[in-house]
Copies of this chain bind each other. A is one copy, B any other.
């Protein structure tokens, strides 16, 4: 079973200019969960002045109920972030650091080593809240400042005993510059070394390989993948980065068991409305396909096309 996590409200919104009201975010979370999307990343504890579109994350957490929060993730980078999000009600935390030290400094304001050193306290805080924590490794392939990131660097972080409490390893192609052969190699190595851990793949479509890389990651052992509605997104501290792999394109490719033609259509409608509100281009081809070939759509997704 492949799980998809929609990260529109975190990674997706980071670069948008137009703020999305908290009430609208609540509605988006509920619509995604109700359509069947297994989990959603809803925001970040990053400094509000640095990432204004996510400044209301605590309010958003407080507006959701425990059943909803059980399926929601919050981006954190310090133990204090975990504590504050947990106080508001969050239970799932994505603890992020970068394989590249230069990107960690640009993104989080400290060295990768300092982020690793603080991780046991983050793990403890998540555990105290009865929650789960992931180790998210940004720039797992390339860094905008340092160039290519050696596989060994990513493996060393994943193996680091201070990360032991993390349930999952999230491997991120932050710049969208990885190619499938690289993704296959890194995911397979991480999967082989730490079998009890789940691997989550987080891909960007900057160079056109968002979906291809994500499928390569799944074939190599990842069990969950990230996407954003309409391919929205990008990292404000990674020059050249752009949209996430599109949730709609991933769903069209993967057709998880919970997806039906009507839930797919619902997600496409939500995506279309949301991106219009934000004034952002919809980069999802599957969403465009669904809109422009209405007659083709039911059987394109339906049982007549048998694929697993």
Contact = CB atoms under 8 A, between A and B. Distances in A.
Interface in A37-79: none
A307 B181 contact: yes
Contacts of A209: 211, 249, 252-253, 285-286
A176 to B, nearest CB: 7
A107 to B, nearest CB: 16
A239 B177 contact: no
Copies per assembly: 2
Contacts of A295: 144, 239-240
A181 B215 CA distance: 10
A206 interface: yes
A180 interface: yes
Contacts of A255: 179
A208 B246 contact: yes
B252 A208 contact: yes
A176 B180 CA distance: 20
A164 to B, nearest CB: 30
Interface string A211-254: 11001100000000000000000000001101000101100110
A167 to B, nearest CB: 28
Nearest to A248: B208
Nearest to A296: B240
Interface of A: 142, 144, 147-148, 175-177, 179-182, 205-212, 215-216, 239-240, 242, 246, 248-249, 252-253, 255, 284-286, 288-290, 292-293, 295-296, 299-300, 304-305, 307-308
